[in-house]
A and B are shown apart, each in its own frame.
Chain A
Amino acid sequence: MRILLSFLVLILVAGCEPKGFLIEIPFKVKFEGMDLACSDTDSTVALSDLRFFVHDVRLVGQEDQEIPVRLVRDGVWQSRNVALLDFEDGEGACMNGSARTHTMISGITSDIDAKGLIFEIGVPESLNHADPLLAEPPLNYTDMHWHWASGYKFFRGGVVTDGDGFWMHLGSSRCQGTIGDIRGCLSANRPTIRLDGFEPGKHAVVLDLATLFAAVALDDGQPTDCSSGPAETDCEAPFAVLGIDFASGDSKITATPFELGPAE
């Protein structure tokens, strides 16, 4: 399948954009630096869910210029601008979801001589409030729909520890207007992730959920959650880690639970 995909991409590259390069960016999930999975009998922590959208992926070139990465549209996980990453496999602590996963994004870019990577988490505002039943993949995936809140869950992830845990649903809040006619949301809640030093082919993007949930009580016997409601105080700490000011919903490029790791 991978070979077939690469072959198709080569045709695409050859046909439409002779100077394009195909790049693949692997993503990984860890907890305190250790691999994290839905079912892991050796660990006291298990993944309960992890799915998130990324968009506006771009490389940072040697002259600090931003080089857009046009995603390879595959009819399942990626449109031209939005990709869904999916780490949950429906096993173990991952009670909802499916066996299918998608942990690497692929795209075409005009240059791969890069010293950094920038991407946004979530669905672009221009797509966030359209009817999800008419959307193209990956935006037609009902697990990520947030019907009553007028948009998508940008990010859903959580861990379980022994009888405890935390989960988080991130999305825009304080939206204005009515569904079908949303004028925008006061809290955009779209984190911007910037990873200096990223080199295509060499690095993977690693999300450490221990960093994201650092200030959350994971072992007080009281499972908690954050679903991005503007009044949910449990959201403040993980939002801050994602570089989002909880009160305004603005994204600042600061602390991040994302880091670089080896590609293989």
Chain B
Amino acid sequence: MRRALLLIALFAAAGASLLLLFQADDYRWNLPGNVPPPAVPPDNPMTRSKVELGRFLFYDVRLSVNESMSCATCHVQSLAFTDGRARAIGTTGEVHPRGAMSLVNVAYASRLTWANNLLDRLEVQALTPVFGENPIEMGMAGREADILNLLRTDDRYRELLPEAFPSDENPYSMLNVVRAIASFVRTIVSFDAPYDRFQAGDRAAMTDSQVRGMELFFSEKLECFHCHGGFNFTDSSTHSNSVIESVGFHNTGLYNLDANGAYPEDNQGLLELTGERRDMGRFKAPSLRNIDVTAPYMHDGSISNLDEVIDHYRNGGRTIVDGPYAGDGSRNPYKSVFVRPFEITPDEREDLIAFLHALTDQSVLHNPEFSNPID
């Protein structure tokens, strides 16, 4: 009798945990078979209801102090979730020292933003644009009560929040806001570019010029792939099967203000966090997926098109002749060893740019699941 009771209890427990598992992770990734799912923090498993809630929050301008800016203001879908500006502008007009980064495949980023070796989870990163003050982005520092009030009074959030967080006695919290936004942003994945289809066996997906450009891209002559390698075209990538985390920050010789390697004072990269001189000008290599639609380029948007980006690398760094930023970046003592001059013919340059265009995934730019759900 006792054994029977025990069995029943065991079955009940197993059933309950199965049910829990089912509720905890009912989200299905839309990924090709050879791409592992992203690593998702165990305390914020993916669910469809969280993703739906996060999508509304992502597009909600009421998360900014003057109700004029949402996450999507700087992360525009048609621009691969960038904003087309050299430097982002906050809701009160403050200019950010750096440009808005693409959110495509950000779920696979081992570190977030341009130069932060500490920041590895979207749930924390989401707080900086909302509450950051230096510069002001959405300007909500000290105003979390306004956000909580919005959540508690808005009909849609009164429905979606309890649905997304069914076991929370009080689901109306900032913690749940960032969990939902992070869940939505993780769904913005892109592996359907001509390059991906070519890799999957569709030889017609890329032109001959693009194939030649791909060979150049992955050549030791150009060295592009050392920093922009791997399935996401950046060495700062991770996924659910990763064993060793890959994180890379590189000085590419964009500046050399004092011949001692200095970058402009408001934008010195990893050094701003570590204080280590060797970290001067070190920034994360961004993913090159959809690079054609994310101009202008570099952390400060100081290069306007891909042709000039190739010039920068061809010269092994950028020389600025006059003005406050004058200097020979190619001689920056902190420059990555992979950034060194190379020869490139006009035809090769054309092929290389054609290949970079083959990294544009039209589906992620137009997928209605990522679009603004607010009427």
Residues of chain A whose beta carbon lies under 8 Å from any beta carbon of chain B: 96-98, 131, 133-134, 141-143, 145, 147-150, 169, 173-175, 177-180, 182, 186-187, 225, 227, 229-231
Contact = CB atoms under 8 A, between A and B. Distances in A.
A149 B134 contact: no
Could you tell me the dominant secondary structure of chain A's interface residues?
mixed
Interface stretch (B170-178, B228-236, B359-367): B170-178
Given A149-B273, A174-B273, A142 B131 contact: yes
A162 B272 CA distance: 30
A229 B174 CA distance: 27
Nearest to B134: A227
A133 B148 CA distance: 13
Interface string B273-293: 111000000000000000000
Given A142-B131, A145-B127, A145-B131, A177 B175 contact: no
A147 B141 contact: no
Interface stretch (B12-20, B117-125, B295-303, B313-321): B117-125
Nearest to B133: A96
In the A-B complex, the 8 residue pairs with the closest CB atoms:
A230-B275, A143-B142, A133-B175, A147-B127, A178-B120, A147-B128, A142-B131, A150-B118
B134 A231 contact: no
B275 A231 contact: yes
A52 to B, nearest CB: 15
Contacts of B140: 142
Nearest to B268: A231
B273 A133 contact: no
B272 A229 contact: yes
Contacts of B133: 96
Contacts of A231: 268, 271-272, 275
B125 to A, nearest CB: 7
A179 B117 CA distance: 9
10 contacts: A142-B127, A142-B131, A147-B124, A147-B125, A147-B131, A148-B116, A148-B132, A175-B118, A178-B117, A230-B272
Contacts of B134: 169, 225, 227
Interface in B116-173: 116-121, 124-125, 127-128, 131-134, 140-144, 173
Given A134-B175, A148-B113, A231-B271, A143 B141 contact: yes
Given A133-B173, A178-B117, A229-B273, 17 more contacts: A96-B141, A97-B142, A98-B142, A133-B174, A133-B175, A133-B178, A142-B127, A142-B131, A147-B125, A148-B116, A169-B134, A175-B118, A178-B118, A179-B118, A179-B120, A180-B120, A229-B272
Contacts of B273: 149, 173-175, 229-230
User: Looking at B125, B142, B268, which has the most chain A CB atoms within 10 Å of its CB?
Assistant: B142
A147 B144 CA distance: 14
B57 to A, nearest CB: 15
Contacts of A141: 142
B178 A174 contact: no
User: Looking at A98, A145, A150, which has the most chain B CB atoms within 10 Å of its CB?
Assistant: A145
A149 B118 contact: yes
B37 to A, nearest CB: 20
B162 to A, nearest CB: 18
Contact of A180 (B117, B124, B271): B124
A25 B127 CA distance: 34
A179 B273 CA distance: 13
Nearest to A177: B118
Nearest to B247: A178
Contacts of A229: 272-273, 275
